[in-house]
Structure 1
């Protein structure tokens, strides 16, 4: 535990190149999206199919980069101790609109299989809190996702 904390602190205090910062940000966003996908402990086909699309649209990356990022995010998710290590990176670099877009992507993934589990809801709400988003923004993004999933 102490070793992980030390590694986390060192990784955030070292000066990074712009490419490393972008990669860390993409990994943080991908891991948060992956948290939603695995929140209900079952990987729905609709969620697995939508995840690369969400990464491509949210982060502006190529399909090949999305595939690679998903693999890296699975490992990061496995090694993580909390959502904070990912939301801290997002808070440092995302604008309000970017955070809202990420939250919208999380809601869309949660509703991709046609139902929202309580675990998916909890992860998204916790993430919104850690991203300092208002409850009204959380609800607004959820409503947009619901409208989108019903079309």
Structure 2
């Protein structure tokens, strides 16, 4: 009996939290950022491409086709890819708008997850656009 009550409470909390996250753009933006990281680490090019906006640009010169080709080559080269976000901050900018910004310090590793591509983290800026209830990555810049 106690287990049924516990499972019922757990179910209600899960449904309640899911409903809140869909209504809160900040929460759904942070979930999209995490989903992007998870899909890269899972080496799932198709799932990453689903997160890109139709007008996606990287470094103001590359498009979604470039992103697909680059991921495919990276995933063929490395058996495992790990994205380590040293720091990450996401916000709606300006508040209430359909634009989200994520700024992060990121280290990317390959091989057995031990070999960083470079010693210092990349400074990465991601610009997201809210389409319906989904955040899509519109612009990617790094240094």
Bigger fraction of residues in helix: 1
Q: What TM bracket, shorter-length normalisation?
A: under 0.3
TM-score scaled by length of structure 1: 0.27
Greater Rg, structure 1 or structure 2? 2
Normalising by structure 2, report the TM-score. 0.28
